[in-house]
Structure 1
Amino acid sequence: MQEEIQKLFDKMCDPKESEAYYFADKLGGMADEVTKDQLIQLVKGDSWEIAYLACRALSKTPYQEEALEAIFGAIFDKKNKSVQGAFVQILEEFELSNSFVDIFRVYLFGNFKASTLAKDYLDEVEFDITPRTIRKAEKHWNHYIHNPEDEGSLQLKKSEVEPMLKEMKELFE
């Protein structure tokens, strides 16, 4: 089995392989703990294309929580700033109900594509919200307010975020 898994890794990571997505999906379906750890190392690696394929493979595994932690790490890694959108896009393959704060951070601090995709997730995913979740979101919001990228985006995000946070707080009053 390890030999077959290694062949799938080799094919998925081959830049000339036109069926890399197929091999990533197949690898994810066969993943065990060791394979998961190898995939997470690829997510953290220097090649964003291979990292993306590793994310896709991880989406097919039962290791969703660990995979999401690695993917959000890749999203916020400065070396991936120009390709954040690709990593945010792959999130659609994951269960995101416990990832409100991470998605919210992407919305606030991501590049245009990442932020736009994160806004879609914020609008469409049914998140598990707790008072602690709201406090964490407010912490990131306060950081954003005091460190805006530009005044135009601050006004737009303010018009979207403040009603959202208010509505979430009202759920617990």
Structure 2
Amino acid sequence: MDQDLERLFEKMCDPNESDAYVFADKIGLKADEVAKNRLIELVNGEDWEIAYLSCRALSKTHWQEEALDVIFKVIFDRKNKKRQGAFVQILEEFDLSQRFVDVFKVYLFGNFKASTLAKDYLDQVEFDITPRTIRKAEKHWNHYLHNPEEPDSLAIKKAEVEPMLLEMKELFSE
């Protein structure tokens, strides 16, 4: 990795740096394969603030799909349950059009903040939906119905999800 990128990583990872996000953006714009791999390592690391900044940097690269795989893995990791919201929030920097099922799972199984943000994405993003996407979403919905993490929210989610799934099915029944 060149010295300029190394210096940017040092600045981004410095806990006293007030503009760390600026350095994250610069890393994302200059990232090569080595920098991408380092960013992915940091996303999986223990320091959630550096992980968040690394997600931000990855959003500026052309490795968005690979980055999204890693970010969703971090979101669904039980140890990050309290920090899910931050990782879901950074998803706004990515193209989510191919990620309906992942966002839907966050809506169903995420903590309050993560679920609320995921619902906003479900309402605002134009997803590429296929019959297979619908079947996968229904599978997760059925799992949720039998294992709700928040039984009190079951009625609310039922009122939101069932019409959504029905509307998507109708797209392919015509």
1:17-96 equivalent positions in 2, closer than 5 A: 17-96=17-96
The equivalent residue for 1:13 is 13
- 1:130 correspondence with 2:130: yes
Find the aligned partners of 2:124 and 2:53 in 1 and give their Cα distance. 25
* TM-score (normalised: structure 2): 0.97
Q: 1:138-173, CA deviations, whole angstroms, 9 ceiling, x for partnerless residues?
A: 110011000012332111100000000001011111
* TM-score (normalised: structure 1): 0.98
RMSD (CA atoms): 0.8
The equivalent residue for 1:161 is 161
Find the aligned partners of 2:36 and 2:64 in 1 and give their Cα distance. 10
Find the aligned partners of 2:87 and 2:124 in 1 and give their Cα distance. 18
Q: Secondary structure at the match of 1:161?
A: helix
Find the aligned partners of 1:80 and 1:50 in 2 and give their Cα distance. 14
Q: Quick one: which amino acid aligns to residue 137 of structure 1?
A: A
Find the aligned partners of 2:101 and 2:72 in 1 and give their Cα distance. 11
- Count of residue correspondences: 173
Q: 1:47-90, CA deviations, whole angstroms, 9 ceiling, x for partnerless residues?
A: 10000000000011111100111111111111111011000000
Find the aligned partners of 1:14 and 1:117 in 2 and give their Cα distance. 28
* Aligned residues with identical type, % of pairs: 74
Unaligned runs of 5+ in 1: none
Runs of 4+ in 1 over 3 A off after TM superposition: none
Q: Quick one: which amino acid aligns to residue 166 of structure 1?
A: L
Q: Quick one: which amino acid aligns to residue 90 of structure 1?
A: I
CA separation of 1:19 and 1:150: change in aligned 2, threshold 3 A = closer
Find the aligned partners of 1:150 and 1:81 in 2 and give their Cα distance. 14
Find the aligned partners of 1:138 and 1:41 in 2 and give their Cα distance. 33
